[in-house]
Structure 1
Amino acid sequence: MAGTPAIGDGASLALGAETRQEQPIILIRGFGGLSVEDEKKIAYQGFNDGTVYPHKRGENYIYEGMILKFMKSRWSYFDATNVIGYHGQKVELPEDMIPEELTKLSMPHDWFSGHKIVIDPGMALRLTATLTDPSKSIWVFRYYDLDNREQFREYAEALKRLIDFIRILAGRNGRTPKVNIIAHSMGGLIAREAIQSVYQKGEAELCINKVVTLGTPHQGIAFQVVERWIGLSAGAELERFNPEKQADRTNAYSYLNFSKHFPPERLLTVVGTNYRTYGPVAASWLNRAFSVAGEFGANYNRSDGLVKQHNAMLPGAPRTFVHKCHGGSDSLVTSREAFEIATRFLFGNVHVRLNLMKAEVTRGFDFIGKSEFFFGVSIKPRGVDFDLFHQSAEAENCYGPFADAQFRDPEPAFGWAGSDRLIWEGWLDTTSRFTPVPRARTTTAPDTTPSDLVMRLDVYVGERDLFGFGFSDNVVFRKQYYIRAVFRDDSNTLIERFELHAREDFSQPLGDTYLTAQGWRFTVSGTGFNAEMLLSFATVPETGPPVPVEFDASPPAVAVATPAAFEPARPGEVPTRTEPDGGGVMGWLRRQFG
């Protein structure tokens, strides 16, 4: 396309490199149903809808919706949606009506005329003249306004066109940004179509920074009667939901081909688990009747009501779980959880991985029925009363079922997040300064409570009798732990120690914690279950992939950030290479925190 932003001329970020700097954000809605005329009247396509959390307080009580939350956040994004026009017919605009200020920005005439998606000259002129940082702009992609539901590729071509527009309009001071994409449901398939079919191979990662998908059926929808349920007027759209076609490598848009076109580690899949609150009852029933392989038929409904959890994942891409349904009120797209997870993935400066090293179930096992065990965790940071990762019996998303008491089954139906029994990988945004938790004061002496970072880890092990002779919902083990990183000095630059506590007020410390070369190992134990876990870290630079941290376990503990691309050491291995610490005692982490 004429006018496509130049790459590699010093005007853009490092070639293909990911960044946690603010980039323009494109929001893409999901499937519109049988008729979309009413959908077109929704100004922000559902991204301005929020959720009320009646049992929470303060800032956590009312979530105002994604767009308003971005605008009120410390990133101070602003709405730029009206800069682009979406039309059912081609727009014709005389060339002399394009302001000279815009033509000087290498914007050809056909960006304003001759297409269904065009730049509005007046709004574009206002955007380029404003003092607001255009990298902090947010855009809603209104693809249904194009009035062509039979040509799915047209949506993807329009998205690429929009990205080209934004990169020129938001470019300033010799810098051409990439874009971040947050897409709900079918919106994620449109993003993938653009990446896999419209961009030339290797080009998409130069223009798109990161992608977050909310309940996107990357591997299709499990039940084959979807057309009879939703309607027949959107055949091209429904074709992308077909699991057989998504699994066919000969189709350019197959999910199996994604990694050939875009680094999968730069796409986060947010998977919904609460099918019970999804409106269309038929969908939830069909998801139970049409299970994916290994789900043992109608015993499970691992879905968000419409999309199976397994099918919302993408090979090689990180994943997380939110206990919300697919769409409507109180859903993935309207949840505070989705916002908190997405922003940490886009802007986070610390990458965390949690692995299961050892495990032993010490009670349970039905003598008559067929026992199967499930293992899961939930993770919540202090200060934000929402899970960054949620597993539970109710969500039907715990790892398993396991027949082996040490969880060594080679291929459980619901498998680990990665090799070496990876439980969770996530991102923390620690660039804002933390303040100590207030303590009860019984003296007038100065408060010497140190600054710290705390996450709550909720560990669950359950047992189910598959044949129905015994109890179907035994809780073998459930316990909450508080993981605390304590900072050494008043300047909040060094971490002094890691701690494990049984109580939120840190009045009940737990032992059995120690540093290894790979990270921090700790034990969880109690009646029915014992386990050892590994918490490892990588720093996320402003530009470039995460850099792993190697720990020198000899006192004083030193953390060393290695320059290699993020490939964490396998549990049990000790890196043979050592490097100087650069003057920091675990300072890599707290320097990012400050």
Structure 2
Amino acid sequence: MPAQLAPFFPIIYVRGYAMTSGEIAETTSSPYMGFNLGSTKVRQSWDKKVQRHIFESPLIRLMKEYGYRDSFSDGSELEDRLPTKSIIIYRYYETADTDIGSGKTLSIPEAAAGLKVLIHTVKQQVCGDDKDLHKQFKVHLVAHSMGGLIVRSFLQNDKISNKADRALVAKVFTYATPHNGIDMAGVNVPGILGLWDINNFNRKKIAEFLGLSGKPERVDSLDGKFDPQRFFCFVGTNHRDYDVAKGLSRALAGEMSDGLVKIENATVADAPRAFAYRSHSGHYGIVNSEEGYQNLVRFLFGDVRADGSLTVEALPLPPSVQKAKDEGREIRASYYFEATVAPRGAFSFRLTERRRDTFSAILRSYDELLRADQTNLAAPRSPVLFSVFLDTTKITVGHTLVFSLELAVSSTGYTIDKKFWPDQHVEGEYLFRDTLIIRITRTAEGFNVRYLNTNEKWSEATGTLANKTADGYTVPLSSNKGFKGNLQLAVQSL
């Protein structure tokens, strides 16, 4: 019987941007380019003792839990056969090192062309003369920061790759990649700023090396060259702990960023994404995090995907504001939607976390939610709360996938006749707040989806069967204040 490769294809890691010659030298001196870096953080237990949580690194965890191995032996990279479960580090920075290479830093298109060569080399090393393996062969590409732009340049630029080359890529996972460039103090990095190749993050330059036509305002589209559903974006939301340039970067990037990349610039259009309170790099960085690893392995190897969005039916007003509205005064408000998802048994991580206090909550105006016709929208702009990938092999009890969803809806505040209204009500008061437990069981007909509200029941309860619809499952939501809506769940096997 021929060997089955999927889903455990070789993993190629593409590291991010190294600015100075010193950083380049440090990068080339590392055999795993940062994929081997872990972290230690603490949490408080029930008895008030501080406990350490040690994350050993993506590299070690992939080796220990999935049987992957590196591609080095006796101080050199393996040049003969590679096992399917191999982790290969794309060492494109070596040409820029004066000891190992020529001292010339590759452009992003040049690095992308080198990635293409590497993929074909790995294919030959894994498959040899086995025709069946050649038919099955693919790779997973994992990239941090600028590495994701190198991956996209390979996937999207017709001068670098063709359809057959791109077909060798199964999935792409990016950490903190500036898919729509980098903005500092609200301004895109200038294209003329060639020092240390910082202009790589100018949108016009990005459009050039991606091969995008025209002058697009945003450059975060895969342009039909690769399926965005096979492209995952992991986004950091902690700007405070990014210490590069003695804090100047985080000051210029500001809130709603990871200290370098703005949240709104860190995703690819139409691709699944997750968010974590992590910075761009460093001890609290996004690559060396449990959250990043758990999303990575579930996306690459998981077998179930669940997407959640929220449709809103009623957004109540505080009594004093409602009174003003009834008097015919103009009321304006926008709303935050917070969503945090964690699988059952997860004590030290969340799969995704969007919160108001970390400036990562979803923001929608009243008109976008309930008066789409007045905003030139074809339909209400319902917030997409999460896209999570799950793995039935990780179930420890029974046959059901279980995860929690902490969901909250609040207002940014109200204006009455264009003046902010702080009287009587408390700013930021929640209209809805609850933790839902979602249970997904695979059946012969598809899935059985149940839910329960932990404000009303213990999470151990079986819960209520979700309403089945043509597009998935519906969970009704309401609060005593008058909020009404529906959690729309789409569940699919992978």
The TM-score bracket by the shorter chain reads 0.7 to 0.9
User: How far, CA to CA, are the matches of 1:216 and 1:164 in structure 2?
Assistant: 24
Please tell me the residue identity of whatever aligns with 2:176: G
1:277-298 Cα shifts (integer Å, max 9, x gaps): 211422222224xxxxxxxxxx
Which residue number in structure 2 is paired with residue 78 of structure 1? Answer: 69
Matched, 1:430 2:396: no
Matched, 1:152 2:144: no
**Structure 2 residue aligned with 1:475:** 430
SS in 2 for 1:53: strand
Per-residue CA distance 1:55-86 (angstroms, 9 max, x = gap): 1789992111110010011x21111156997x
Q: Residues 487-498 of structure 1 correspond to what in structure 2 (within 5 A)?
A: 498=450
Which of 196, 203, 207 is the matching residue for 2:164?
A: 203
Deviation at 1:406, TM superposition (A): 4.9
Aligned to 1:285: 251
2:223 alignment counterpart: 259
In the other structure, the counterpart of 1:575 is none
- Equivalent in 337, 341, 347 of residue 291 of structure 2: 337
Distance 1:257 1:156 in 2: 17
Kindly tell me: are residues 477 and 252 of structure 1, through their superposed partners in 2, closer, same or farther at Cα, counting changes over 3 Å?
A: closer
Indicate if the aligned counterparts of 1:355 and 1:423 stay in contact, CA closer than 8 A: yes
In the alignment, structure 1 segments of 5+ residues that lack a partner are 1-10, 14-18, 86-119, 129-133, 289-300, 437-449, 541-594
Secondary structure, in 3 states, of the residue corresponding to 1:277? coil
Distance across 2 between alignment mates of 1:397 and 1:194: 30
The residue aligned with 2:99 is: none
1:11-62 deviation digits (Å, cap 9, x = unpaired): 999xxxxx95110001111111222222222232211111223117899921
Alignment map for 1:231-250 (pairs within 5 Å): 233-235=195-197, 238-246=198-206, 249-250=212-213
Q: 2:478 aligns with which of 517, 525, 528?
A: 525
Shift in Å at residue 268 of structure 1? 0.9
Quick check: 1:81–1:138 contact (8 Å CA) kept in 2? no
Is 1:31 the counterpart of 2:17? The answer is yes
The correspondence for 2:452, drawn from 500, 517, 524, is 500
Q: Where do residues 97-496 of structure 1 align in structure 2 (5 Å cutoff)? A: 123-125=78-80, 127=81, 134-147=83-96, 148-149=104-105, 151-171=107-127, 173-174=130-131, 175-176=133-134, 177-197=137-157, 198-223=159-184, 224=187, 226=189, 233-235=195-197, 238-246=198-206, 249-250=212-213, 255=219, 258-280=222-244, 281-288=247-254, 301-364=255-318, 371-385=333-347, 386-404=349-367, 406=369, 421-432=383-394, 434-436=395-397, 451-465=399-413, 470=422, 473-485=428-440
Q: Separation in 2 of the partners of 1:344 and 1:80?
A: 23
TM-score between both structures, scaled by the size of structure 1: 0.66
Q: Tell me, what secondary structure is at the counterpart of 2:393? A: coil
Equivalent position SS for 2:93: helix
- What displacement does 1:509 show? 6.8
**Aligned with 1:169: secondary structure?**
helix
CA distance in 1, matches of 2:450, 2:275: 26
Change in 2 beyond 3 A, CA 1:378/1:251: same
Question: Which one-letter code corresponds to 2:122 in the other structure?
Answer: I
Aligned to 1:577: none
Give the conservation status (yes or no) of the 8 Å contact 1:381–1:456. Answer: yes
SS in structure 2 at match of 1:258 = coil
Matched, 1:68 2:32: no
The answer as to whether partners of 1:204 and 1:261 remain within 8 angstroms in 2 is no
SS of match in other structure, 2:307:
strand
Aligned-partner SS, 2:249 = helix
Alignment match, 1:54: 42
8 Å CA contact 1:60, 1:384 repeated in 2: no
More divergent stretch after superposition (502-511 vs 30-39): 502-511
Change (3 A) 1:456 1:242: same
Shift of 1:519: 2.6
Q: Could you tell me how far apart the structure 1 residues matched to 2:453 and 2:52 are?
A: 25
Change in Cα spacing, 1:141 to 1:266, as seen in structure 2 (3 Å) is same
Identity of aligned residues (%): 26
> SS at the partner of 2:201?
coil
Kept in 1, the 8 Å contact 2:204–2:215? The answer is no
Change (3 A) 1:169 1:387: same
Q: Offset at 1:207? A: 1.5
Show CA shifts across 1:461-499 (max 9, x none).
1222387663654333321111124689xxx99976624
Aligned residue type for 1:435: T
Residue 321 of structure 1 deviates from its aligned partner by 1.3
Distance 2:214 2:127 in 1: 35
Alpha carbons of structure 1 residues 486 and 349: separation in structure 2 relative to 1, 3 Å? closer
Residues 212 and 342 of structure 1 are in contact (CA less than 8 Å); yes or no, is this contact kept in structure 2? yes
Structure 2: how far apart are the matches of 1:287 and 1:302? 8
Q: Which amino acid aligns with 2:477?
A: V
Deviations 1:271-317 (A, max 9, x none): 111112211422222224xxxxxxxxxxxx22111001111111232
Alpha-carbon distance change, 302 to 408 in structure 1, aligned in 2, over 3 angstroms: farther
Higher strand share: 2
Report if aligned partners of 1:372, 1:465 keep a CA contact under 8 Å in 2: yes
Equivalent position amino acid for 2:236 in 1: G
- Distance (whole Å) between structure 2 residues aligned to residue 233 and residue 244 of structure 1: 17
TM-score when normalising by structure 2: 0.79
Partner of 1:97: none
CA pair 407-81 structure 1, distance change in 2 beyond 3 A: farther
Distance, in Å, in 2 between the alignment partners of 1:39 and 1:378 is 34
Cα gap change, 1:358 to 1:200, in 2 (>3 Å): same
Q: What secondary structure, in the 3-state scheme, does the structure 2 residue paired with 1:170 have?
A: helix
3-state SS in 2 of match to 1:52: strand
Once the two structures are TM-superposed, the CA of residue 240 in structure 1 deviates from its matched residue by 2.4
Q: Name the CA distance, whole Å, in 2 between partners of 1:220 and 1:396.
A: 20
- 2:101 corresponds to which residue? none
Contact 2:438 2:449 in 1 (8 A): no
Change (3 A) 1:63 1:359: farther
Deviation at 1:361?
A: 2.2
Equivalent residue of 1:124, what SS?
coil
Change (3 A) 1:468 1:323: farther
1:514 aligns with 2:457: no
Once the 2 structures are TM-superposed, how far is the Cα of residue 388 of structure 1 from its aligned partner? 1.5
Preserved CA contact (<8 Å) 2:274 2:351? yes
Q: Please say if residues 241 and 279 of structure 2, whose CA atoms lie closer than 8 Å, have aligned partners that are also in contact.
A: yes
SS in 2 for 1:506: coil
Q: CA deviation at 1:350?
A: 1.2
Letter aligned with residue 524 of structure 1? L
- 1:421 Cα offset (Å): 4.6
1:495-540 CA-partner distances (Å, limit 9, x unpaired): 7662424178436676584333433221222244332112222111
Shift of 1:234: 2.4
Q: Secondary structure at the match of 1:182?
A: strand
CA 56–487 in structure 1, closer or farther in 2 if over 3 Å, else same: farther
Q: How many Å separate the matches in 2 of 1:266 and 1:495? A: 22
